Structure 1
């Protein structure tokens, strides 16, 4: 790895930490410089605008997640089993680094939607996100051949919708350590597992009379 690449990675990691702690709006390039142990002028040489640094961090998060989805695709098992692994990946809210990544992904969508400044390099984020969607689509397509998913569904559309909805849902849950309902406390991971099982039960092939 070149010196420039190592320095860039150091800045991205520092920015990830700062954005996770303070959010995008309240973080400054000086905060990132302090976290990285560098001068703020060095930060600006690598990332001339804060929005460029924000997008670079988001792309880095997505690129780090891509191999995890690729491993699910390459793993043994049928489509239903791989799709369960996919949903389990989203449930890892208890892991702190995964939690921070999910929080930033959710926060970025809101930040980008309301940003008054042109988001340069936003295409890089869309491309990184599309690469993940492509892998998920490949997992889903396997259901046509192995018939481990209900065949009476428009299952490509259904499974992609479930994946998107569940991903958004677990990202939103990442903002809350717990949700209090009266005297009960339901942890986000517990909520996610309940919804995951509802989805899995819905796509599971229904037993026929011959199966009984």
Structure 2
């Protein structure tokens, strides 16, 4: 988790986000949480801002470092997300974007002055597990992206079994295949035979190198 925190450590300016925040509800007034758009899903902005808040709260160089008011806002905003339970018609947001952001946010907050209430954190981790998908059922970049939040969740839960599964599966796409993934001519297929070297190809390499950096010198996994 130290390596993951270092990877996502930021010193963001979060002043503008306060103007759109309703502290009583734990919601942002400019977000319609009922939207289920296939692209640019509006509710995801809530989690983007929460990650920025977590970064500010845990960064000693930020003016809001360790601030009680910011901590209360973070907890209320996390609880609001659980209460409204946003859902997108595009599975990618539900099984990749959302659990990744939640995992990173919780890992950052573990180093905070105050911890997220245990009951709330457990509910969020259960949501990530139950709705975040199974990497074994996917290929290519989709597999590595789901493995990433499995790594985040497993670290938070100290879940050795799921961490081992994620570590074994995340590197599997780095091989030549005639199905989805790296082709023998070094092109990249995703969504059947569609060329995606600049999209999914880039994404799978980013995910694999992220996990390799986190685990370097710590574990040896053999698939």
> Who wins on radius of gyration, i.e. which is larger?
1
More helix by share: 1
User: Structure 2 length as normaliser, TM-score?
Assistant: 0.31
Query: Relative contact order (alpha carbons < 8 A, sep ≥ 6): 1 or 2 greater?
Result: 1
User: Structure 1 length as normaliser, TM-score?
Assistant: 0.32
